[in-house]
Structure 1
Amino acid sequence: MLAGLSLPDEPLRPGSPVRVSIHQALDIPTLELSYGTVPVLYASAAVRRLLGLAYLLVWSWNEHREAARLAGQPMADRVLLLIDEVESHLHPKWQRLFLPALLRVIQRLTGEVQVQVVASTHAPLVMASLERHFDTDRDKVFHFGLEKGRIVVEEQPWAMQGDAVSWLVSETFGLNQARSQEAEQAIEAAEAYMRHEPLPGYESPEKLNQKLQEVLPGHDPFWPRWLVATGAVK
């Protein structure tokens, strides 16, 4: 279970329990990490979240199996898993593999049982991670929005975007540009100038150039367009 939810270069391996306090007669589970043995109480928030989820899955499935045995009833043939904010506390590396790994782990745990996952996210990498696994015949994307003080839920057509930047500017996340707000405003002002529709306060290329230098890195792909448009490069 833990191995399936781990990063390839940082597997989560359970260690021997240890006592961490003289004031509490309790042995604490540990993890064997590349930098040493760490009691789970002192693991990062991301690791503790993964541990909690792994424990919840194993515990709930085993309890259901035992309850079905005692009641003389067949086991359930479906599992519904609700996860809020998939990316919470997770490094981008984990965001990119978490849901696909979770689906594989659940399937190994439950066998032939049908598993439905309902997950919410604000992370473009989580959406990108599902591109290879998304089945338009059975999977759906819903967008929650706010209109006039009311929550509106809309189904969105699935379309592969390719990378996190493309997801940010897709209808799912709705950004105009995957940049800081200041950089976006500066580029919009520069584009308005190139259309001969300068915005107030940005009528001169010198002022625009100064603003762009403040908010854009030297390798930004907007620079070639701007330099050609202003005649700095021919």
Structure 2
Amino acid sequence: MLRKIVIENLGVFRHLSMEFAPRLNILCGTNGTGKSFLLDSVWFALTHRWPIEPVTSIKKARIECIGSDSSGDHMDYSASFDRSEQEWTWSPDKFDNTGLVFYARADGGLCVADSVQGNSLALSLHEIWNGREKSGKFVCEGLVSDVLKWQNRRSEELAMFEKILEALSPSNFKIRLSLPTRISLDDVRDIPTVALPYGNVPVLHTSSGIRRILTLAYCLTWVYSEHCRACNVAGMSYDSRMTFLMDDVEANLHPDWQGSILESIFAAISALRGSLENVQLFVATKSPMVTGWAKVHFDFPLDGMLELREDEKKYVMLDDSPLLTCKI
């Protein structure tokens, strides 16, 4: 669990010190205030790797973190950027702070890190749907292939996927899988379909909002399933720790759906794991529907809303309004 982060001379931040709530942290602010970069920094703090491209600085950059390990013990650790070597150095160089880290990026891609497998993986939106092959082996078979396989086998993954899909559905209808179908003379694949109020629709032809939810449901199912399989192969117990990061959480969703998406994410993770225990969430938003829900439903010892804004010198800083912050 990450309790605090201090960022010096990096990205849009000259100096940012931020304490985090143990359950839900909402990062809000206008465009250009560094919400996405802050999520990238949280990922970096937890995994020692930047999500996509390494972040560099022409100044003396540093990230300091306070967290807790798998035993709940307090940990201090930091990273400094060496300009001559163009690389980041961590002190201490190894620590146990990861568990399962899930990052749904604003571009639709996914980053995942698993302490059991000892590596991290970044997938594009295209790869999430169609799979990725590396050196003749599939790293991920993709939503279209996996969901069809789960349906044919009536597997545990199918039951998990359907539970998560129902939890993430909007309040006025439930998204459910239906029978696969062919959609083209040129494509011999059977394509999964979803049953919507107006009929069955191939997943490749669904709206952007439905596709976003299908992507999130599939990624959660696939990531947790692979974690459980890795634990079984390694003869290890499942790691109870999970950090969930999601950028632009309201993207492509109707305002009514935006207003319930955080509650839906809570329900989806609970359906996946059985509870929210040892789960820490970070989501970025600029939607008043999302923040409006938060102000009504927050449990402030557990949850926090953190607003980034520019000061008079155009430096990004943390808004210290007591209405919007927790434990700052």
Q: Could you say which TM-score interval applies, normalised by the shorter chain? A: 0.5 to 0.7
Aligned to 2:299: 135
Aligned to 2:195: 32
Cα deviation code 1:33-59 (max 9, x no counterpart): 111111111111110000100001111
Aligned to 1:171: none
Contact residue 250 and residue 258 of structure 2 kept, 8 A: yes
Contact residue 145 and residue 152 of structure 1 kept, 8 A: yes
Secondary structure, counterpart of 2:285 in structure 1:
coil
Aligned to 1:79: 242
Letter in 2 for 1:71: A
Secondary structure, counterpart of 1:88 in structure 2:
coil
Aligned to 2:229: 66
Secondary structure, counterpart of 2:231 in structure 1:
helix
Aligned to 1:123: 287
Q: Which runs of 5+ in 2 are unaligned?
A: 1-163
Cα distance in 2 for partners of 1:37, 1:58 equals 22
TM-superposed CA distance for 1:61, in Å, is 0.7
Aligned to 2:274: 111
Tell me how large the CA RMSD over aligned residues is: 1.9
More strand, by proportion: 2
Cα distance in 1 for partners of 2:314, 2:219 equals 36
2:259 to 96, 119, 133: 96
Aligned to 1:157: 322
TM-superposed CA distance for 1:94, in Å, is 0.4
Cα distance in 2 for partners of 1:155, 1:45 equals 36
Cα distance in 1 for partners of 2:249, 2:321 equals 19
Aligned to 1:43: 206
TM-superposed CA distance for 1:7, in Å, is 2.1
Cα distance in 2 for partners of 1:152, 1:71 equals 44
Cα distance in 2 for partners of 1:149, 1:80 equals 31
TM-superposed CA distance for 1:132, in Å, is 4.2
Contact residue 246 and residue 283 of structure 2 kept, 8 A: yes
Secondary structure, counterpart of 1:140 in structure 2:
strand
Cα distance in 1 for partners of 2:259, 2:297 equals 12
Cα deviation code 1:2-27 (max 9, x no counterpart): 11111232211101111111112211
Secondary structure, counterpart of 1:14 in structure 2:
strand
Contact residue 168 and residue 267 of structure 2 kept, 8 A: no
TM-superposed CA distance for 1:155, in Å, is 5.1
Cα deviation code 1:110-149 (max 9, x no counterpart): 1244221100111111112223431111211111223434
Contact residue 140 and residue 158 of structure 1 kept, 8 A: no
Question: Measured at CA, do residues 155 and 30 of structure 1 come closer, stay the same or move farther in structure 2, by a change above 3 Å?
Answer: farther
Cα distance in 2 for partners of 1:135, 1:20 equals 47
TM-superposed CA distance for 1:84, in Å, is 0.6
Secondary structure, counterpart of 2:271 in structure 1:
helix
Contact residue 141 and residue 156 of structure 1 kept, 8 A: no
Contact residue 171 and residue 257 of structure 2 kept, 8 A: no
Question: Measured at CA, do residues 24 and 107 of structure 1 come closer, stay the same or move farther in structure 2, by a change above 3 Å?
Answer: same
TM-superposed CA distance for 1:83, in Å, is 0.7
Contact residue 203 and residue 211 of structure 2 kept, 8 A: yes
Cα distance in 2 for partners of 1:35, 1:102 equals 25
Question: Measured at CA, do residues 66 and 158 of structure 1 come closer, stay the same or move farther in structure 2, by a change above 3 Å?
Answer: farther
Aligned to 1:53: 216
Cα distance in 2 for partners of 1:141, 1:155 equals 11
Letter in 2 for 1:97: S
Letter in 2 for 1:57: L
Cα distance in 1 for partners of 2:308, 2:194 equals 38
Contact residue 15 and residue 31 of structure 1 kept, 8 A: yes
Q: Which runs of 5+ in 1 are unaligned?
A: 160-234
Secondary structure, counterpart of 1:120 in structure 2:
strand
Secondary structure, counterpart of 2:303 in structure 1:
coil
Larger radius of gyration: 1
